[in-house]
Amino acid sequence: MNALRALAKKPWFGPLLALIVVYLLFLMWTPDTFARPITLITMARQTVVVGTAAVGMTLVILLGGIDLSVGSLVALTTVITARLLQNGMSAASAAMVGIFAATAIGAINGGLIVGLRVTPFLITLGTMSILRGAAKGLADEQKIDAPTRGLEMLMTTGPNRSWMIVPPGVWTTLLLAGIFAAVLHFTVFGKHAKAVGSNERTARLAGIQVGRIKVYTYAIAGFLAGIAGIFELSTLTVGDPTDSIGLELSVIASVVIGGGSLAGGQGSIVGALLGALLMTVIRTGSTQVGLPNWVQEILTGAIIIVATGIDSARQRKPA
């Protein structure tokens, strides 16, 4: 009983419950398709890009910030990597350079926020546009059809790798989520980030180098957006400068559904992944049962409001 109560206190308990309920609902509606392993695997695969970016966004939101440029950064990464593949670079090297560039851009986001003392919302609103423009320029405003050189394997299990159950991209996302959840719980950096998000003035007073923590955090968010970009490229098999428009909103929604607070100091990586998965389930389920696109959008929006409303009510309840 106590263990159950402790479980209910976890920030990701709400989204987990919602996920189970929504899944069961669609399962009852279309039992023959929704229980099939292929549906589950497809949904996992479709969550990878948002999920990976949401891990980074959780850190940023925990820090009390926000990153609106993540969608543009994902698109830019697909373009950079595709260009390199086109020029004959190997898949591993091209992906590495793409991820490195995204990490550097994340660090620049952080540097601008710290250096100019402008709110993250405005800085990343600016870089959102700059990066989108840069992606279009680099791609000559068209899709880059490059040889993927095995990069597409990230998102498929293939005929002779069925022992993997889900594609390597899904495993990578889970691994990254595990690593960064551990960073939050067991490292000085994680503790410092949470302290900055909770009360920046107290953190400064306690000797925490607030600026440095911010730059690191945005760099990590850039790194994860870069990896999400590689996954996106692996799915699309082209570098697309107009891809992932509005992705930042799905990513932020995942984090918020997962218990993150835009006021900072609160956020759960497990919760964010569950939030991302919840949105995929709603999208897939609605398609399966034949609900039109506009109904899906209304449903997703309603889930965000209900989830954050419940969370807010839970916070207000006296201990």
Partner 1 sequence: MTRLLFDNVTKSFGATRALRGVSFEAKPGSVHAIVGENGAGKSTLMNILAGAVKPDSGTITVDGAPHTPKDPQQARDAGVAMVHQELSLCTHLTVAENIVLGVEPSRFGVLNRRAIQETAQKALAEVLPQTPGGDDSGGITPGAKVSDLPPSARQLVEIARAISHPACRVLVLDEPTSSLTSHDAARLFQVIHKLRDKGLTILYISHFLEEVMAIADRYTVFRDGVTVASGNVADTSVNDLVEKMAGRRGEEVFPPRTKRSPGEEVVHIEHLAGKVRPVDVSLSLRRGEIVGLFGLVGAGRTEFFRALFGLDPIKNGSIKVGSFLGPASPSTRLSQGVGLLSEDRAAEGVALSLSISDNIVMSALRRLSKWGFFLPKTHELEASRWVERLSIKTSDATLPVSSLSGGNQQKAAIARLLCRDVDIFLLDEPTRGIDITSKTQIYKLLIDLAAKGKAVLVISSYLPELLGICDRIAVMSRGTLGPLHEVGGLREEDLLREALGA
**Interface residue list for partner 1 (CB under 8 A):** 185-189, 191-192, 194-195, 198-199, 201-209, 265-266, 318-319
Distance in Å, CB of 203 to partner 1, minimum: 7
Helix (H, G, I), strand (E, B), or coil: what is residue 88?
coil
Whichever of 161 and 212 has its CB closer to partner 1, that residue is: 212
| Amino acid type, 220 | I
Whichever of 134 and 195 has its CB closer to partner 1, that residue is: 195
Distance in Å, CB of 148 to partner 1, minimum: 37
Distance in Å, CB of 261 to partner 1, minimum: 9
Whichever of 168 and 211 has its CB closer to partner 1, that residue is: 211
CA distance 247 to 71: 5
Whichever of 59 and 146 has its CB closer to partner 1, that residue is: 59
Query: How deeply is 25 buried, as exposed, middle or buried, from its count of CB atoms within 10 A (0-12, 13-18, 19+)?
Result: middle
Q: Using alpha carbons only, how large is the chain's radius of gyration in Å? A: 20
Whichever of 198 and 296 has its CB closer to partner 1, that residue is: 198
Q: Are 217 and 209 in contact (CB under 8 A)?
A: no
Distance in Å, CB of 216 to partner 1, minimum: 12
Residues 6+ apart with CB under 8 A from 289: 26, 29, 30
CA distance 19 to 279: 9
Nearest to 190 by CA among 179, 205, 204: 179
Distance in Å, CB of 184 to partner 1, minimum: 11
